[in-house]
Amino acid sequence: MPPSPAVPWFAYACLALSTGLVGSYVGLSKLLLLAFPVFLLAWLRFGIAALLMAPWVKRAPEEPRLDARSRRLLFLESFIGNFLFSICLLFGLQRCSAVVAGVILAGIPAAVALLSWLLLGERIARRVLAGIACCVLGIALVAGGKSGAGETSALGALLLLAAVFCEAAYVVIGKQLTARVSARRISSLINLWGLALVTPLGLWQALSFDFTAPALSDWALLGFYAAAASMITPWLWMSGLARVPAAQAGVFMVFLPMATALVGLLLLGERISGAQLLAYGLALAGVLLATAPRRLRA
């Protein structure tokens, strides 16, 4: 029997850290929304990250030049996975608690499986369909519900659901990009596209914004948000995604809603109800059904 391939522990660590960081800044961004309007916040995030990642833009000598297909994929990766995801997420968070957002975002692995079927023609097994059904049921339980931080609107739930599919598209497109472009360069280029896309809206809100109003702690949190959201997490995610299949990488999305809910519970003073706890369990069960392999190999 041929020897089993080595377990890519480095890739697993990158994927787990990336999704954990995303979940943490999803919760913390609720604090930033109290100090900055949505489009200005997104513009500042991309702008700060562009300065931090300036050395990553240049192509490495051993890296091939970008072809037309790679350029299109980079634009779609940024437009769907960066720009639209950020807008849907931030507007959705204004209308939902972090705990509810965590339950809805738990549907990302099932959404990855669904998009793989629609866009890549992959066959979806019955257990994956059951996982999608669990995630949808979990989302239905929290849509329009209440949390310790206030009421969750149907619009907020729909915006977060749109963010789920934006992030799923980010995974599917990113897997294709990592075959030709380095993780660092992907991160820097999609951030530049995001900056270009949000600049008109960001400038519009900047003209009427009082930049002396946010506290020093708000600016410090903004710096962490920019570095984590646009620089560290994409680099970690693309580094891991380059070494494992996309479906297997989807398993690690479970850390995103867990971290989001933990931030809401521990730092934002939110509470979780029995219905939300049940919804959380259904969403996590959906993750396991949709992404667990049929069997474990030695």
Rounded to an integer, what distance in angstroms lies between the CA atom of residue 285 and that of residue 171?
A: 21
Pick the closest to residue 272 from 31, 102, 21 (CA basis): 102
Residues with Cβ within 8 Å of residue 36, at least 6 apart in sequence? 44, 209, 214, 218, 222
**If we measure between CA atoms, which residue out of 98, 88, 90, 91 comes closest to residue 147?**
98
Q: Are strands 150-151 and 146-147 parallel, antiparallel or unpaired?
A: antiparallel
DSSP class of 146: E
Per the CB < 8 A criterion, the answer to whether 153 and 135 are in contact is no
For residue 48, what pLDDT is reported?
A: 95
Report the run of H or E that residue 277 belongs to, with start and end.
Answer: helix 274-291
Q: Are 102 and 265 in contact (CB under 8 A)?
A: no
Compute the distance between CA of residue 178 and CA of residue 156 in angstroms, rounded to an integer: 33
Rounded average pLDDT per 10-residue block, the chain, 298 residues: 54 81 74 89 93 89 84 91 83 76 73 76 69 71 53 80 88 84 90 92 94 92 88 88 72 68 68 72 69 48
Distances (CA, A) of 41 to 51, 72, 135, 280, 281: 16, 26, 30, 29, 32
Is the pTM higher than 0.85? The answer reads no
Where are the chain's structural domains? 9-57+65-291
How many angstroms separate the CA atoms of 297 and 294, rounded? 10
The tokens for 163 are 């963010």
Instruction: Give the C-alpha distances (Å, rounded to integers) separating 190 from 111, 172, 235.
Output: 22, 15, 11
Cα–Cα distance between 7 and 227 in angstroms, integer? 29
